[in-house]
Structure 1
């Protein structure tokens, strides 16, 4: 069991502690946790609060190896975790590669490393209210419906985000109260990244134009949409189960289903059938095989491998999805 540290009774670190305490009480009472620690202000404040509130805490520092000296930064972060009272601190180097650009590849590598290192425990992530607001704006830009703008979940096992109601400036003040100088990642100020431009250009402009409170309003919107989406997702699961006959869907069970539920049911079925990177355009085209049927052909979807594609089609009152050669 981790020895509890005595933290100063200062307002910012108390805010962070209260957020962590509430998350633990709701999702993981009296249990050990892992904290994803980068060395930045958000994850440092989270680590300190977690050690004070949880019975046992282990830090995992992912070294993306994208910058000179990243190994030293990771080692310093791990040492700070031990100073704060973590039971252990592991540095995990990763190789960042793959589709979707540097941000997406780094995220995939990071989450895979954290999942492999968590030893069955939940992983606490340092995402703040400001991160949630940025995520909502990125979702709005994609224009792919409510799912893309309902932001990050506070609990999406094994991931936990206790700080989604805490502002970024609070975590910085918490570090100052603790006498900690957080690492400043150069990528967090590089305008080549879309999220950085949102952070430093778009959100401040919106705050100034609309009189403040924009980040908090975006985060509240995400929470409302997530609550609504969970209900619709549950209805979609029931619908998909009722319409399913083997690997196919029986169309008569879907025709009169509200479109918001039906498209979710189709999405579940298509992903289960092997679809990858399903787009809103593809999903609407598959939905038209039910709602606007006029004898059209099948819909090609992302999935399969080179020379083979996944196609959803309608025949004799049923929807089927299968792989066909190009």
Structure 2
């Protein structure tokens, strides 16, 4: 290996290089891994990373969902080495079916990347356009500000240097450098919600609102993440004030603003093993604090088929424990509804 491939100094190449350099200066001074799919976004990211980072290891996940996927993965690995990556590994995975193919493929991909990264941060090729799509998906869920904060530029170990770069720019980088990106047919399949957002909803919004919608959505996400970081910090203080090591004081929580109280309770639940929390969970738990009518506990995700993880109000405190056959709660509300 003679070193990284020399890149032309076009506007697109410089934009991506500057984005990667800025990310590295803030989060990682040493070697990094790049998740390389062979598409335009991850190819452009890889080309810039090998110039800006001390060393780059390319990780190529083969989902094995389409005929010829092994050849696509092998071509991506060869492109990575030609660009100057220190190494390129293909990671074959088996995609399950739980939650739909998109969700299952994502779980398999991130699990494989995490196992192979050797403690390096992993750079992902998500762009400003991906961010805008993510914000719209979160808005449709109606789950509060957290759901429309979009993707963070760094959530260890995942780094996203290109969140301010448009998808058209990464495609132009590939053209400028002479790279031929793989066109995943799933990215044009209308049965996927994100594809319809990309090809139908966002272009319509851009037309109706006069352009700039994707950038505005990305700016909104960034502002909400900044606000959210402040609120999360205040909520952690409230949590620790109310916490005696085993439960939370109802009186302390009830007198706090709702935005802080719900964030504090969410953090406490996650620390206690709760999973897949929804707004329905959190509002049902909040009613135990602010609208107490003698209702039973609230079952949240994170238990087992035999023992549900239950939040209950007991003697002026909020408790979290696994229910048992010998000592079940009198009435458990699952996802905010009463069940026997």
Question: Which residue of 2 is the match for residue 8 of structure 1?
Answer: 8
2:22 counterpart of 1:22: yes
**Partner Cα separation in structure 2 for residue 126 and residue 48 of structure 1:** 11
> In angstroms, what is the RMSD of aligned CA positions?
1.3
How many residues get paired?
325
Q: Is the 8 A contact 1:2 1:87 kept in 2?
A: no
Q: Once the two structures are superposed, what CA deviation does each residue of 1:265-289 show, in whole Å capped at 9, x if it has no partner?
A: 1111112222221110110110111
Q: Once the two structures are superposed, what CA deviation does each residue of 1:32-89 show, in whole Å capped at 9, x if it has no partner?
A: 0000000000000000000011111110000000101100000000000000000100
SS at match of 1:245: coil
The TM-score, its normalising length taken from structure 1, stands at: 0.97
2:55 counterpart of 1:36: no
Question: Which residue of 2 is the match for residue 145 of structure 1?
Answer: 144
The TM-score, its normalising length taken from structure 2, stands at: 0.93
Q: Is the 8 A contact 1:82 1:89 kept in 2?
A: yes
For structure 1, the residue ranges without an aligned partner over 5 or more in a row are none
SS at match of 2:251: helix
Following superposition of structure 1 onto structure 2, how do residues 195-206 of structure 1 map, counting pairs within 5 Å? Answer: 195-206=194-205
2:272 counterpart of 1:273: yes
2:58 counterpart of 1:88: no
2:299 counterpart of 1:309: no
Question: Which residue of 1 is the match for residue 258 of structure 2?
Answer: 259
**Partner Cα separation in structure 2 for residue 43 and residue 246 of structure 1:** 45
Q: Once the two structures are superposed, what CA deviation does each residue of 1:174-224 show, in whole Å capped at 9, x if it has no partner?
A: 100011110000000001111001000000000000000000000000000
Q: Is the 8 A contact 1:2 1:86 kept in 2?
A: no
Question: Which residue of 1 is the match for residue 226 of structure 2?
Answer: 227
**Partner Cα separation in structure 2 for residue 246 and residue 9 of structure 1:** 57
The range that moved more, 6-15 or 302-311, is: 302-311
Q: How far off is 1:98 after superposition?
A: 4.7
Distance 1:211 1:260, change over 3 A: same
Following superposition of structure 1 onto structure 2, how do residues 1-326 of structure 1 map, counting pairs within 5 Å? Answer: 3-29=3-29, 31-324=30-323, 325=325
Q: How far off is 1:2 after superposition?
A: 8.2
Q: Is the 8 A contact 1:2 1:55 kept in 2?
A: no
**Partner Cα separation in structure 2 for residue 40 and residue 2 of structure 1:** 25
